[in-house]
Every structure is written in structure tokens, then in C-alpha cells.
Structure 1
Amino acid sequence: MSQALPTPPSSTVRCRQLLQRWRNELCLGAREQALLAGELRQLDRQLQRLESRTLRVAVFGRVGVGKSSLINALIGEQLLATDVAHGCTRRQQAVPWPQAIDGLAAVELVDTPGIDEIETAGRARLATRVAMGADLVLLVIDSDLTRIDRDALDTLLNCGKPVQLVLNRSDRWSEQELPALLRSIQQRLPKQLPLTAVAAAPRRPVLDGEGRARSEQAPPRIATLSQRLIRQLSGEGELLLALHALRLADRVQQAHQQLRLRQHRRSAQGLIGRYAAAKATGVAMNPLIAIDLAGGLACDTALVMQLCQLYGLPMAPTSARRLLRSVTAQNALLGGVQLGLSALKQLLLLLVPFSGGASLAPAAPVALAQAAVAVHSTRRTGVLVAEQLLRRRGGQPGALLQRLAQADPVVAHWLQRWPASAASDLQPLLP
């Protein structure tokens, strides 16, 4: 009787195992530990939340849109202070959501300060900080989209953060006006971004004993939002936790690589210069194309491996040659010029017996030109290799993200919805 094969681990379990192994194997010097302390603390907190299955939902938006009221309505208790005239939240506050969610041990609702209480540059920083500390963001508005709302939404999406848009105080519009407002908002949103109308703290008119009209608190109308949150977190909560941890780990890895490049920039310049001089001397002295090509390839391969060692990213010779082939494709023009000069030099040397030595005269400047091209191509190869090392994902959290996307359609769905981070300026980091 055949034995049943074990069930393969889920994407979330694989994420947790591989991330923990990567974190344990991440070797940092004392200076690197100090410079990356903030990113590492954020990553370690997220890894702890992933292990304990505790998901964070940040409630974000302008001052006075009812963020605290919305959280109070969701938890069914007046736990957070609210003020109808001014925003009361001055710092982030996290409260547990007493709602059972399949696959999660706990969900925290995080109240955040109003984004329009600070200057424009600070808003983007606040939005980025909130995005990096939450697995899901509820962006709360209380009217049609303002420029501040749109800027915050763009920042959150560019950080790769899943967002739900919540229109609070929907009781201020009539049954005829509300659908038109929702259509107006939806038309300016990215596709597939959920929009839900709620009334976290609605008021209703009543008559007192003397027949005078006044308003009183009515029950919150948040059932649609609550159900949508429960449905999304039950289906994707664990995965959102894991993907957020992977994103943070990828940021740490990229910051680490950039730091290595910055620290070793001068050493890399000296190393590239020495290999450039050696290659220039070799190609100038060698009379045969085959020797030029073999010597140049050996020199460039050794340079790649030395650069990898310098940056603390060791690479096998086969991988070094593969990386070199990728770089050579970008350096094709210089390679063609170098090959042409080698062929011309060999031809001039072959003509020496027939020209009575006259062809030796032009061979010398050709050799000098060949040496100059060799210096330039080696320097360019070194710069391109350093750039490839910074962007290299092999065996790192970024690569794990891509492998999971290929194996799991839900992961692929989220990665397609999360725009890639803008490429950083590498020029100051390159040798």
C-alpha cells in the first residue's frame, strides 16, 4: 500500500520559514547594524506579527473625517476620544478589533494623525510611515476626493500597500445624491480599489417634549464595511502579513546592498583600475586575437568575482560568467571596437614579411588604441557589474516574491496590483 505524500506547505508557511532563515543568516557589521537599525526594528516587528498572526489595519485620512469614530464603531465601544470640531489624534494608537477572523489570531485597528495638519512634504513621509507599519490601510474621506486625499492615496499605492477607500458621514447626503457622489469618486480611483460608504457616528432629528427639533446619536451604519473587511482578511489576511514582511525584508536587503556599495566605492575604483591596467597591457602585447579574447575574458571574470567578494556577495565562477555575459551585451559596441582593433593589429603583424617591416609602424598606434579601449571597457564593465549587484535578487526576499507569484495566483494578483518601487539613483553609489 503506497504511503500518501505529505501536503506541501502553504505560501504563508513557506514565506515565514524562508524569511526567518534569511533573517538569521543576515550578516551585518557593527556600522551596518547601526545604520540600518530603524529598518531592522520594523522588519523584526513584522516578523513577530507574522509569527503570532497579528494583522494591523491603519485608519488614515485628513483631520476631522471621523477616523476615531470609525474605529469606535467597528469595535463597538467608545474607546478613542473624538471631537466634532478638531482632530483629537496626535499619535498612532492601536486597539484590538474584537472580531474573529479565520487564519488570524488578532487584528489591530490603528488610529493615525490627520494628514492635513502637517506641511506637504511631511504628509508624504507620514503616509509612507503608516504604509510601512500596516498590512492594510483604510483611507477615510468625508466628501469628494480632495488633492490631499489623492496625494495620500498615490503615496500608499506607490508603497505597494493594499488600500480600501471609506466614505464616512454618508448620512449627510440624500438617497438620490449619494450614488452620484460615489460614482464621481470611483471614476478617479484605480481599478479594483474598493469604495464603501459608511456613517460611523450618524445623527438623527428628534423632537423634545416641547416640540423643538434637536439631533441625537443614531446607531452606526458600518455593516457593509465590516463584512467587506471580514471577507478580505479571512481570505487573504495571512498572505497580506507574509507579503508585507517580504516587502520589508526586500527593502532591508536593498538598503544593505546600497550601503555595501557606498562603503566600498573607493576600493572598487582601485580594483577596477588595476584590472584595467592589466588588461590594457595584455591586449597591447598579445599578437593574436584568440589570446586577446581569452585573456580579456579571464580578466573580466576575475574582476566580477573580486567585486562580488568586495561587496560581500560571493559568487561562483559560473554565475560570474553568466553575469559577465549580461554585462557584455550592454557593452557590445566597445567589444566590437576592441575585436576590430585586435583583427587589424594581427593583420598588420602578418604583413610584416611582405612589407619589409613597414607594417610595424601603424601596428604600434593600433596597439595603443586597443589598450585605451581595453581600459575604458574594463572600467565600464566594473560599473555595470556593480549596478547589477545592487539590483540582483537571486536568493533574496525579492526573488522569493517572484517565485511565489509564479506558484500562487493570489500572490501574483497582489503583486500586479502593487506598483514596483521607483528605481533609486545608483550613480552616487557606483565606482
Structure 2
Amino acid sequence: MPASSRAGLIRNAARRVTCRAGPAAVPLAALLAFALAAGLYRYAPGAYSALLRLFGVPEQPFGYPFLDTQFVLAQIDCWRRGIDVYVVNPCDALGRLHDYSPLWLRLPLPTGLGWSDRFGLLVDLGFLLSLFFLPRPATRLDGALLLAATLSQVTAFGLERGNTDLLIFALAVAAGRLWLRAPALRAAGYAVVFGAGLLKFFPLVLFVVALRERLRDMLAIALAGCAGLVGFVLAYHAELRKLAPNIAGPNYFGDMFGATILPHGAAIAASVLLGWAPAWLPGALLALLCAASLGGAARLAGDAGFAGADARLLPRTRLFLVMGALLVCGCFFAHASIRYRAVFLLFALPGLLALGRGMPAGPARCAVLGAAAAALFLMWSMRFGLAGWLPQQVAWWWAVSVLAGVLLRFAARAAAMRELTAWRRLQLNARDRTASRGGAN
């Protein structure tokens, strides 16, 4: 065998080994990092606090982790005692009012001493184990970038808090894997998403994935989801009205992201620095940003190189890219979110890297690779403070615009949309034939 052929076989074998090792290497490294952090907390709390400061993770005021887990269990505890946690919550260390779904208060979770740590560990381990089921990195570089994102400040923030968004992450991963299976299992995936949506609301945006189904099945899924949601609202409408004022408003210069952050932050900066900021300025800036984002997304979705690269993606990679785009764009445009919700960029990052690698050189490829770089930057930018505020906002709009392009491309090629377009074309053709016969008579 020629030396060049042997070298080619060796390279291909190494690539296969890399691809097989990649999906295990990233979650295993995350589990190891979590175990090391837990060991530091147990045996060297000073070093643990220093590690949090190094990562830019906000320190807890009480010296223990899983503050968000404690919040959930404290609400349940107070509710069982007959206390209206929508108004007052003496069981929580910070007195935080209930701003989650009413279903949390009905969960049969233990609330005794020590259960915050146990529940927090379960949430974190569920998230870490779900990483094994994300799309595989196709190259060593992709694996290294995905590892960097997985071990980022955003992930550490969510893990340290024991935030329930990590539970939603694991449930979304389970739904995604079910959607890659037979029709009966795909139906179970929508049930998982519906349950997650009743807990945290924002996962309901994943029902858009039903566009992948046949039109008849998509309509059935939409009808079932709407019926369940109407039933939920009718059952808990009084509590839903009470929790709405408790939802935190946007902090324009804090640890939040969303579409309103840049326009309102810019208006505040103009008022402070220039003494001029008319009331219409934030709304006008938001409209301009949304128009530019949508225009860029439409242009990207129509790019031939982008469409070709999208068609060559592995089904799992494409599905999780769409899921990540839905979750990130939904949270970005619906309401300002705490930074740890950026962890859902992990769904999209493998797909963005694969798209960029499969596209020809040009502006569209630069936009996609720029979105991947922006995602990585956003997951590691918690220490920058005000100095990094503007770059972070630009990165968010860049990433969201590209992800919106992914969604437009997904909608254009979705099975339900193709059936609907074909049905509409038949209706128009029938109308034209009827009009032609009428004119001839």
C-alpha cells in the first residue's frame, strides 16, 4: 500500500476516534470539574470562594450553594403552611416572592433540613448527564470549543445556584432525543416539552418543532397543546395574575440579556452623558434593531451556501440547532433573562460550527462563524462589567440574528409548511381553472 494511502487511512481512523471520543470527553470533563468544585467546597471553602471569584460568578451572601434550589423548596414549605408566597415568603433566605408556575407549589418534594443540597445536586447531575446526549463535535477543534463553552462562567453560575433552568435543559435534551425516534416516541417528546413549559413557561416555544411533522399531525399536536394550556390557565388563573407582578423587570446594566437591554441601556447612557434622551428613543432603537435583525436573518436564510450546509447537517445536529435557536430567540425577544439561561447556546453551538465549516467562503459564512464566536464570548464575559456591556449587546444581537436565520430556513423546509404550500398552490390552480372556464363561456 502506498505511503500516502496509509497516511490517509490513519487520518480517517484518527478522525473517527476523535468523533467517538468527543461526545464523552466534554461531559466527562464537566463532571470532573463539578467533582473538583464540590471537593473544594467541602474541604477548602476558601479556595472554592476564590474559584467563584475567578470565574466571575456572583458570590452567595450566605456562604452556601444552591440558593435557587433553596428558593424553590422554601416556597413549597411556606405554601404547605398556608402562607401566600405570592405576597410574602418568610421561608426563603432572601424573602423572594413566588414568580414561578403554580405547579411548583404542588410538587411532592421534601422540604426538610438538608434537602436543598440534595435537590440541587440532583438538578446539577441531571444537567451534566444530559450533556452526553447533545450532538457530537465533528472535529477536535469543535470539541475544544464545545468544552470551553461547557466549562464557561454561565454554566458555573447555573450549577452553583442549582437553578431550575438546568432541569429544563435536561428535559429539553430528553425531548430532542425522543423527536429523533418513531412517531409514538415523538409524541412523548411533545408531552415532555408541555410538562417543562407548565413549570417554566418559556420551553413552550419548542412546540414550533412540530412543523417537522406532517400537517395533520402538526395540527393535532397544536390543538392538544392549546387545549392543555387553556385548561392550565383556567385552573390557575387567579395565581397567574398574582405572580405576574413578581417577575423581575430588566436590569439594563446587570446580569441579564434580552432585546430591550441595548435600546434602553443606550437611552440611559445618552441621558447621563448627553443630558438628552426622549421617551421615544428606546422604542425607536428597538424597532430599528429588530428590523435589522430580521433583514439579516432573511438574507442568511436565502443564501445558497447556507442552505446547502444546512441540508448536509446530521439530523441530531440540525434538530438541536433549531431547538437552541428557538429557546435563545424566544427568551431574548420575550423578556429579559438572567445570564445563566444563556446555557441553551450549548444546543446551538455544534450546529453553528458545522454550518460554518460546510459553507463556502463569503459574508454568510463569516456571519455564522461570528455567531459561534459570539456565543462562546457571551458564555465567558461575566467578569467584564460595564466595560464589556456594549460588546456583549452587539454579540447578542449578532448571535440572535443568525439563529433567527436558522429558524427561517427551518420553517421554509419543514414538512408541514411544504404541505401547506402545496395545498395552497392547488387551491390557486383550481381557482384559475374555474376563472378560465368562466371567461370562455
TM-score normalized by the length of structure 1: 0.24
**Which of these two proteins has the greater Rg computed from alpha carbons?**
1
Point out the structure with the larger helix share. Answer: 2
- Where is the strand percentage greater, Structure 1 or Structure 2? 1
Structure 2 length as normaliser, TM-score? 0.24
